[in-house]
Amino acid sequence: MRTASILLLLLLGMGTLAFVALPKAKQGGKEPGKAPSTLPQRPDLRLLLSGHLDGKLEPCGCASAQSGGLDRRAFWLKAHKHEFDLALEGGNYIHEPNPLEKEKFMTTLMVLGATLHYPVLPLGARDLRMGIQELQDFHEAFGPPFLCSDVYIKTKEGPKPLFGQSYRIVTHPKAKILVLSIAGKDSWEIPKDLRLLSPVEAIERALRAARKTGFDLVLCFVHSGGSETAARIARTAKGVDLVVSVDGSHEAKTKARVFPKKGGRKTYLLFPGSEGRYLLKADLKHAPKGWELLQLHKIQVPAPRPKIPGTLPPGTDPETHRLLRDLKVQITKSDLLEKMAERKDPSGGSYAGSQACKSCHEEAFAAWKKSHHAKAFETLQRRAKEEKVWSPARHPDCVICHSVGYGERSGFRSAEKTPQLMGVGCESCHGPSRRHVAFWTRNKGKKVEKAGKERAKTPRQARVACYSCHTFEQSPGFDFTERWKKIQHK
Ligand code: HEC
Ligand code: HEC
Ligand code: HEC
Ligand code: HEC
């Protein structure tokens, strides 16, 4: 991890765990002369919620009008500080524990912690999979306000909460908020020296431990198991006002699920969406028992990006933008591109490159050659020239869809080492076909049935391949029939 460079920032920004004043709301007085019953109720507390960043520090720029981006969020938070009291982010900051995501995690800490002063950093199971020891060491040395309520360390004196505390109190002038975080199991191999409590047990324990401190509102992030797990927790947990489901669903929901509890208290289940696309604003009001949710409002983190790379786009915060750019510069200079190649599928087939198909599939080759796919890597190189200081052609997050088989055995490694696999090639859709090439070179004129395992992917499989790259984010509204016409082989 790029620890050294960020230590200072963290120490300066959040070395102390105390709540660093986030923008406070203006305490506007009531307007006289108007019938209060016709006015919308004035909230006592306005929270801004988000989570499941999933490594999306900023949108990729493949399509126009994408939302998200920490630099845009930072701008919004600073420009609209009177519109909310407190911003809280759930965990799962990273997509999976790999060297690239670890770098992104560090930058995320710098942005959320040191620059934007988020008072708590709950960790999801994905974050914990980066390595407990490493996170603990980091926490002990620099004290970022990590939080995890359901993971305990086994010690001789009994189980101790990870990061020392199973809850965090955020003290705001308007309310003392108790924050909890359920990491959950996900696909995590729990280390032997740790114990994972059930969500309900974890919540009960944390509430017991916090009783002496006193608090007004209890908010619990839930990171694993999807919305159903979060709903189960919201239904059963006692003493929790808000459950925030950090379940990876793209869209924020402006309707909460409500679970009435004994004694008139309610637990609300909220979905803030993922990947930093939205900030979900929750307007809350004190009720005789607990809190009343007045309304939810989703703020899309928007701002158009101009087409001038290398300049500061409007609607972005310069400081955060610089941090994100520094990360990209560092990735460009590092050996991450090659380190991240050949990570998965060691048993997978081997790639031949599109040129190797030309001799037998001339028509398909000619059609492909003039398609945008063939030039997809050049797109990255062109962008690199414009950006000057960093290169998407050396960034695993871009190369993955703009080359053939990056991350797989014998797939793309770098422009220098595997030039035959630059761009979206035949095998991006038809699968690794080296053996197919060898078979037909040996067996010219044989019947197709004889090819058996050496057949390339069927048309049907090839059609499904589109969706691995033309996703919700990169290709909004992708329609196979319409798009295939543009690249069909004859
Ligand atoms: C999940 C796959 C995926 C990833 C990751 C990805 N791209 Fe793309 N990119 C696409 C697809 C698909 C298109 C075509 C979109 C369309 O036309 O619908 C595209 C289009 C583009 C275009 C526009 C090409 C043009 O001239 O119209 C640019 C520029 C681009 N990508 C750059 C990047 C950069 C930079 C990154 C990394 C930050 C990146 N891409 C990451 C899949 C991806
Ligand atoms: C963007 C994905 C994609 C790329 C790139 C691509 N193909 Fe295809 N290919 C398909 C799909 C989808 C089908 C099935 C089309 C259909 O449903 O009729 C297909 C069909 C085929 C077929 C069998 C049907 C036919 O047209 O005779 C061959 C052979 C073939 N492709 C070869 C190639 C070769 C060689 C290349 C590279 C020069 C290539 N393809 C590049 C998606 C792709
Ligand atoms: C030496 C000749 C030869 C080469 C090189 C070759 N193929 Fe083929 N390919 C064939 C033959 C022969 C068939 C089956 C008969 C047909 O339909 O043309 C075939 C069929 C296919 C099909 C249809 C599905 C199947 O397997 O029946 C696809 C897709 C395909 N090839 C893709 C590729 C790709 C991708 C490459 C390059 C990596 C490639 N081929 C290289 C000869 C070749
Ligand atoms: C490995 C990732 C990948 C796969 C698989 C893929 N694409 Fe693409 N596609 C891209 C990228 C990247 C671009 C942008 C290329 C550029 O301009 O740089 C693109 C661009 C296109 C374009 C050109 C944009 C336009 O509308 O003119 C079409 C059409 C297209 N893809 C259709 C398809 C279809 C249909 C499939 C499935 C049969 C498919 N793609 C599979 C990555 C992929």
Per-residue pLDDT of the chain (490 residues; tens, 9 = 90+): 455 555 444 544 443 333 333 333 334 434 444 444 556 788 999 999 999 999 999 999 898 888 999 999 999 999 999 999 999 999 999 999 999 999 999 999 999 999 999 999 999 999 999 999 999 999 998 889 999 999 999 999 999 999 999 999 999 999 999 999 999 988 888 999 999 999 999 999 999 999 999 999 999 999 999 999 999 999 999 999 999 999 888 899 999 999 999 888 999 999 999 999 999 999 999 998 889 999 999 999 865 566 676 678 888 999 999 999 999 999 999 999 999 997 776 667 899 999 999 999 999 999 999 999 999 999 999 999 999 999 999 999 999 999 999 999 899 999 999 999 999 999 999 999 999 999 999 988 787 777 777 777 777 888 889 999 999 888 888 999 999 999 999 8
Pocket probe for ligand 1: among 474, 482, 484, 486, the residue whose CB has the most ligand atoms within 8 Å is 474
Tell whether ligand 3 has an atom less than 6 A from the beta carbon of residue 433. Answer: yes
Q: How many angstroms is it from 439 CA to the middle of ligand 4?
A: 28
Tell whether ligand 1 has an atom less than 6 A from the beta carbon of residue 371. Answer: no
Cβ atoms < 10 Å from Cβ of 11 = 14
The pLDDT score that the predictor gives to residue 28 is 40
Nearest to 432 by CA among 326, 362, 346, 364: 346
Ligand 2 atom, smallest distance to 484 CA: 12
Q: Looking at the CA of 457, which ligand is closest?
A: 3
Ligand 3 atom, smallest distance to 356 CA: 37
Q: How many angstroms is it from 463 CA to the middle of ligand 2?
A: 9
The pLDDT score that the predictor gives to residue 34 is 45
Q: How many angstroms is it from 349 CA to the middle of ligand 1?
A: 25
Q: How many angstroms is it from 175 CA to the middle of ligand 1?
A: 44
Nearest to 430 by CA among 464, 398, 399: 464
The pLDDT score that the predictor gives to residue 343 is 75
Nearest to 202 by CA among 187, 222, 216, 188: 222
Look up residue 269 and give its two tokens: 């289940």
- Cα–Cα distance for residue pair 277/248, rounded to 1 Å: 11
Domain spans of the chain? 7-24+41-322, 341-487
The pLDDT score that the predictor gives to residue 403 is 98
Nearest CA to ligand 1 atom 31: 62
In 3-state terms, the chain is what percent helix, strand and coil (to 5)?
40, 15, 45
Ligand 3 atom, smallest distance to 358 CA: 5
Tell whether ligand 1 has an atom less than 6 A from the beta carbon of residue 381. Answer: no
Nearest CA to ligand 3 atom 16: 448
Tell whether ligand 2 has an atom less than 6 A from the beta carbon of residue 440. Answer: no
- Cα–Cα distance for residue pair 143/137, rounded to 1 Å: 9
Look up residue 73 and give its two tokens: 């969020």
Domain with residues 341-487, CATH architecture: Orthogonal Bundle (1.10)
The pLDDT score that the predictor gives to residue 12 is 44
Q: How many angstroms is it from 346 CA to the middle of ligand 2?
A: 25
Nearest CA to ligand 2 atom 12: 463
| 175-182, strands of its sheet edge to edge | 168-172, 175-182, 217-222, 242-245, 266-270, 257-260
Task: Give the C-alpha distances (Å, rounded to integers) separating 403 from 30, 288, 305, 345, 365.
Answer: 60, 59, 25, 17, 17
- Cα–Cα distance for residue pair 415/5, rounded to 1 Å: 30
The pLDDT score that the predictor gives to residue 473 is 85
Nearest to 197 by CA among 215, 209, 211, 214: 209
Nearest CA to ligand 1 atom 43: 401
pTM, to two decimals: 0.91
Pocket probe for ligand 3: among 434, 439, 440, 490, the residue whose CB has the most ligand atoms within 8 Å is 440
Q: Looking at the CA of 364, which ligand is closest?
A: 2
Q: How many angstroms is it from 147 CA to the middle of ligand 1?
A: 35
Residues 6+ positions from 336 with CB-CB distance below 8 Å: 99, 100, 103, 394, 396
Answer whether 269's CB lies under 8 Å from 246's CB.
Answer: no
Tell whether ligand 3 has an atom less than 6 A from the beta carbon of residue 455. Answer: yes
Tell whether ligand 3 has an atom less than 6 A from the beta carbon of residue 428. Answer: no
Phi, psi of 295, deg, nearest 5: -165, 160
Q: Looking at the CA of 61, which ligand is closest?
A: 1
Domain with residues 7-24+41-322, CATH architecture: 4-Layer Sandwich (3.60)
Residues 6+ positions from 12 with CB-CB distance below 8 Å: 114
Q: Looking at the CA of 442, which ligand is closest?
A: 3
The pLDDT score that the predictor gives to residue 399 is 98
Tell whether ligand 3 has an atom less than 6 A from the beta carbon of residue 356. Answer: yes
The pLDDT score that the predictor gives to residue 26 is 39
- Cα–Cα distance for residue pair 93/127, rounded to 1 Å: 7
The amino acid present at 250, given as its one-letter code, is H
Nearest CA to ligand 4 atom 30: 483
